[in-house]
Amino acid sequence: MTSPQDSHSPAQTASTKMTDEVAAPAVPAPTIEVEEKKTPPFLSPQLSSYFIAGGLAGAASRTVVSPLERLKIIQQVQPQSSDKQYKGVWSSLVRMWREEGFKGFMRGNGINCLRIVPYSAVQFTTYEQLKRWLTNNGARKLDTPTRLCAGAIAGITSVCATYPLDLVRSRLSIATASIPVQHAPSSSHAAKPALTSAYHTASTTASRLTATATASHFKPADLTMWGMTLKVMRDEGGVWALYRGLVPTAMGVAPYVGINFASYEALRGVITPPEKTTVARKLLCGALAGSISQSLTYPFDVLRRKMQVTGMGSLGYQYNGALDALQSIVRTEGVRGLYRGLWPNLLKVAPSIATSFYTYELVKEALGAT
């Protein structure tokens, strides 16, 4: 006579063994599949498209307005004591052409493009990524405050990454401009040559060039990207000298880029509806967005340039910081001094920003990015 346990144990044992054998191998399979799907690519094709499109957009936008960009920098930093300043847009461009030719128009554009390619690439890529993160990949609405925030962070990121190139480019842009030396002549005999030879033309001899603001402080080897970089580091305090003016630059770039992107996308919604997305309308959106953002933040740009050339003793600028520079400009030149060079800047902003946004969207679409 068998007990109840004995009568059921063979069947239970077999059933248990079969269940274990069937169920055991099925447990780890889903875990392996999930782990494989969670491995993301290091650099997505879409991210690469943003970077390439942004870099090409920056190079194209700056090249088409190189003469106006250089003129703006010269007008921002030239001393106000001389009666032979670069005044007026057209007359200054004619003078620049007469003194230095086409090379003068493109002076500093090589390093400007070298700077603007990574600058613009980082800016557009960061902006696109921030939009995704701040909206949770499109789950939340992309409103104006979000665009402003994304643009501001993108601007700060890009300027911090490329600031030394911007400083060197500013130095090269004004290095050969005929800006007068700011020092008192040691005698009456020296006064006349200082006044008459402070402005040179393309045909000026080497001996006369020694009286200009440039040649009295720079050697030919200094008038290259690498040479100017070494001179700044050697004469003005090492690597940190390449970041002089970074704080006011960041203060100006953050609202500028934020307003620029927010204005452009807002204008696109009004000026380029789906049935009216023509090239002219797209360019108009970029031109208006750039003009608005530049006008609102231009004093920061002037302050940045003043800080960047404070080590060039011939210009007479010596500041102890951004606040000291701001106070000095307002005291000596008035509020108007904070907007010096605005007119040629606005003339270059329209084609520059329009070209930038249009090129960016064109290249991005060609590369298949959304």
pLDDT band at 175 (very low <50, low <70, confident <90, very high): confident
Q: pLDDT tens-digit profile of 292-306?
A: 998 888 888 788 777
Do 181 and 314 form a contact (C-beta atoms < 8 A)? yes
Task: Quote the CA–CA distance of 212 and 180 in Å, as a whole number.
Answer: 6
Domain range summary for the chain, segments of one domain joined by +: 45-179+211-366
Share of the chain above pLDDT 70, in %: 70
Half-sphere exposure of 65 (CA within 13 A, CB side): 22
Q: pLDDT tens-digit profile of 329-353?
A: 888 888 888 888 787 778 888 899 9
Q: Which of 296, 312, 205, 199 is nearest to 253 (CA)?
A: 296
Task: Quote the CA–CA distance of 141 and 258 in Å, as a whole number.
Answer: 17
DSSP 8-state secondary structure symbol assigned to residue 81: S
pLDDT band at 178 (very low <50, low <70, confident <90, very high): low
| Cβ within 8 Å of residue 218, ≥6 positions away | 175, 231
CA distances from 326 to 65, 307, 321, 334 (A): 28, 10, 9, 10
- Overall fold of domain 45-179+211-366: Mitochondrial carrier fold (1.50.40)
Structure-block tokens of residue 127: 């902006």
Task: Quote the CA–CA distance of 361 and 340 in Å, as a whole number.
Answer: 33
Q: pLDDT tens-digit profile of 113-172?
A: 887 899 999 999 999 999 989 888 777 888 889 999 999 999 999 999 888 888 887 787
Task: Quote the CA–CA distance of 302 and 156 in Å, as a whole number.
Answer: 18
Whether pLDDT at 106 is above 70: yes
| Cβ within 8 Å of residue 111, ≥6 positions away | 165, 168, 169, 172, 225
Per-residue pLDDT, 9: 52
Do 197 and 211 form a contact (C-beta atoms < 8 A)? yes
Provide mean pLDDT across the span 228-256.
Answer: 86
Provide mean pLDDT across the span 348-361.
Answer: 91
